[in-house]
Structure 1
Amino acid sequence: MIDLAEDKPTNPLLRLGAQPIALTAAALFLLIVGATSIAIWRAYTGHAPETDRAVASRQLQVRAAQASEQLVEKTKGLEATQQESIDQLQVVQDQLLTVKRILSAQQADTKRLSEQVATLTESVDGLRQSSASARATEAETPTVNRRKPGRRAHASARHRKSRS
């Protein structure tokens, strides 16, 4: 014979599967209650996703504005520094040109003075040579005894001075 006791399932999950409409209704009810409680919680605490996104986007905009302001300030600072450097470079270039002009003038003076020294040296050498040749000529010629002028010559010279 057939034993009817063996046909009954002993697993409780199989029993729930026998009533699928009740199981689906309970799951749907739990989902609705959970979603509603989450929505109510966010509405009262002010943490709705839309407000979070709006706050986050505003914060990003503020940060971006601050960053751009900082970049503008830094750029202006760099421009000022660059202009100062250009001005300083111009001053240095002007000073360099002045130094070059002074150096050129000094070099021209030095050249002129060197030429004058060379001319003077040639003149001194020429005088030395002529002096040496004159001495050599004196040494070769016999010396002539000259007579000393007498008192009379001196007196006449004095007399001429007093007339003048």
Structure 2
Amino acid sequence: MIDLAQDAPSSPFARLGAQPIALTAAALLLLIAGVTSIAVWRAYTGAIPETDRVVASRQLQARTAQASEQLVEKTRGLEATQQESIDQLQVVQDQLLTMKRLMASQQADTKRLSEQVAALNESIDGLRQSFASARATEAETPSVTRRKPARHRVHASARKRSRG
């Protein structure tokens, strides 16, 4: 014969496992007690985490929107400053180009004047040399007493005759 007493578990947990309906009912009672205690706690404290979360998220959204507006304003300010800088740079570039043109013109004038001064110096040197050579030839030839031109001599002799 088979002994049925030997097959039955001896521990109390083993007996609970044999009755799944009782185990499920106990778990359900624990779950209902937990939900009830949470509902009582919320009603007693007046704090509802969902509304706090909604308020916190709305505040976060408002802060985000405000930060975005500030960023947009700062970006517009930077754009305006950048445009002013670009305009000023363009003015400076135009002035630089004008100065380069004036400088090139002045350099051309200076070059032309330098060439003219060099030509004048050459002419003066040529005149000096010719003057020096004329003096040198004059110094080499003996001094001849200067005589009056023939026309003056004729008039002078005619006057002497009429006086005498």
TM-score, with normalisation over the residues of structure 2?
A: 0.68
Please, which moves more after superposition, 60-69 or 19-28?
Answer: 19-28
Corresponding residue for residue 13 of structure 1: 13
Q: How big is the shift at 1:59?
A: 3.2
Corresponding residue for residue 137 of structure 2: 137
Q: How big is the shift at 1:62?
A: 1.9
SS at match of 1:106: helix
**CA distance in structure 1 between the partners assigned to 2:92 and 2:26 by the alignment:** 90
1:118-138 residue CA offsets vs partner (Å, 9 max, x unmatched): 221121012112102211221
Q: Alpha carbon RMSD of aligned pairs, Å? A: 3.1
1:20 to 1:83, Cα distance in 2 relative to 1, 3 A: closer
Give the percent of matched residue pairs that are identical in Structure 1 and Structure 2.
79
SS at match of 1:55: helix
AA at the equivalent of 1:87: D
Q: How big is the shift at 1:86?
A: 0.9
**CA distance in structure 1 between the partners assigned to 2:115 and 2:9 by the alignment:** 135
Corresponding residue for residue 85 of structure 2: 85
TM-score, with normalisation over the residues of structure 1?
A: 0.68
1:41 to 1:134, Cα distance in 2 relative to 1, 3 A: same
Corresponding residue for residue 108 of structure 2: 108
Corresponding residue for residue 72 of structure 1: 72
1:46 to 1:141, Cα distance in 2 relative to 1, 3 A: same
Aligned length: 146
1:40-59 residue CA offsets vs partner (Å, 9 max, x unmatched): 323443233x3244234313
Corresponding residue for residue 117 of structure 1: 117
1:11-34 residue CA offsets vs partner (Å, 9 max, x unmatched): 333555576655543432222121
5+ residue gaps, structure 1, are: 148-164
**CA distance in structure 2 between the partners assigned to 1:142 and 1:42 by the alignment:** 145
Please, which moves more after superposition, 16-25 or 111-120?
Answer: 16-25
**CA distance in structure 2 between the partners assigned to 1:115 and 1:66 by the alignment:** 73
Corresponding residue for residue 25 of structure 2: 25
1:106 to 1:33, Cα distance in 2 relative to 1, 3 A: same
1:139 to 1:66, Cα distance in 2 relative to 1, 3 A: same
